[in-house]
Structure 1
């Protein structure tokens, strides 16, 4: 079965029922991973379709409450109250999960503004590994730099996700092998941070039509530094928003 690869909530009721989990040990495990690994929560407010990104600050299992950070743009959550209906999406260990509820209350956590919700009794786990992918347009290629010691010449990205990337290189197909590991790869994002160390595994090699000197490599990617996955996820989210905005402005 093909599942939604977007960060947006799944709306298909049959899928929601099929993949719904309510066993307490499972809920604790998934929510604890989201909290401990600082995975982002994508919040969708049902009434006005407001969206923002946050993270779990703390979970009080005995009280049945979770504290969330306020969004960067605090205006996005200023109207939240006991009647606010929401869906939240996250990707603990690359697994797309979502849960719904009613009530987002303004609160405090360690002296700072926070949001508080009731711990969900049900979580939907949509598939084992699910990463949304963005296509590499001209702007993305100008922003992102991929340096691979084993690759000579320019690298042109085709797409990128948390799971991997595709790109064009100038080389004959026989130069690379399937399952070959490309080590010490440096990925630089336009967020002002240092380049991050990643490891690529070549999963497919394709010739480029009418360009015999070029090939297309599809690679699985593994981040090797703490916080790198979160940085990349933020960049992908911002890129998806930009591309969606550009698409809407053209229509």
Structure 2
């Protein structure tokens, strides 16, 4: 049985997951990681954000938070079906919900839906992605004729990274956009100029922060070596901390 917590050898073709045990494990991984969900409705172009707040395999139910923007709540309340897309560690998951009911869960509004009978599991990235601690002084700058944004690295792999930017950037940055002037500041390796493509953008309303997935576009040998060195540095640090924790 595949798991989101087990690294794959590389990109895999999409496959249908029908095993209730595996579906429950995948949904609980999204719950524990607080991964963003992208909610879309048939024949509506606007997309909405949410996240899983509870999973109950015994009663075949899951709960998701209210949608952002709020307009999406009206569509669910009116009984419209919707699709959910989620990403975790290079894996894209998607499934359909025929309906959901508005409820109060632990004192807060939420939507209760049936657990999916099947979902699509697509391992898209074979590169290891390393988390970047906020204590590290990283920097990301995106510049074009229309934008000039600065933030920090959330994670990075040999093929791309996720940037953490202040405020809502979902209307500023769009999937598929190419930004030729991207500058990364990587501790241990220095400053790197590299072109990137925007893959996805999500906004965390509670933190007032945006997460922007970026794919590196044909980096030269020197730039690739800088990225690889930084990823290797993060891996070494993660292993060092794991060994330290094992002593206690």
Q: TM-score, normalised to structure 1's length?
A: 0.53
Alpha-carbon distance, 1:48 to partner? 2.9
1:143 corresponds to which residue? 150
C-alpha contact 1:40 1:54 (8 A) present in aligned 2: yes
Task: After superposition, give the CA deviation of every residue in 1:24-76 in whole Å (9 maximum; x if it has no partner).
Answer: 12111111111111111111111434420100000111221111110233222
Whichever of the two has the greater Rg, that structure is 1
Alignment gaps of 5+ in structure 2? 1-12, 128-141, 153-183, 200-212, 239-248
Partner of 2:196: 159
- Secondary structure of the equivalent of 2:89? helix
Are positions 1:45 and 2:41 aligned together? Answer: yes
Q: How many residues are paired up?
A: 166
Q: Tell me what 1:247 maps to.
A: none
Offset, 1:85: 1.4
Query: Which residue does the alignment assign to 2:67?
Result: 71
Comparing 67-76 with 110-119, greater Cα deviation is found at 67-76
Q: Tell me which of 31, 42, 51 is aligned to 1:55.
A: 51
Query: Cα RMSD (Å) of the superposition?
Result: 3.9
- Pairing 1:22-37 to 2, within 5 Å after superposition: 22-37=18-33
After superposition, give the CA deviation of every residue in 1:9-31 in whole Å (9 maximum; x if it has no partner): xxxxxx8xx62110112111111
- Residues of 1 paired with 2:68 and 2:222: CA distance? 48
Give deviations 1:77-124, integer Å, cap 9, x for gaps.
123137321111111332111001210221111111111111101011
Equivalent of 2:103 in 78, 89, 107: 107
SS in 2 for 1:156: strand
Shift of 1:165: 4.0
User: What is the alpha-carbon distance in structure 1 between the residues aligned to residue 195 and residue 224 of structure 2?
Assistant: 18
Task: Check if 1:90 corresponds to 2:128.
Answer: no
CA contact (8 A) 1:96 1:129 kept: no
8 Å CA contact 2:192, 2:226 repeated in 1: no
Misfit runs of 4+, over 6 Å? 173-176
Q: Tell me which residue corresponds to 2:5.
A: none
1:148 and 1:71 mapped to 2: Cα distance?
Answer: 35
Taking the aligned partners of 1:176 and 1:48, their CA distance within structure 2 comes to 40
CA contact (8 A) 1:99 1:124 kept: yes
**Of 122, 125, 147, the match for 1:126:** 122
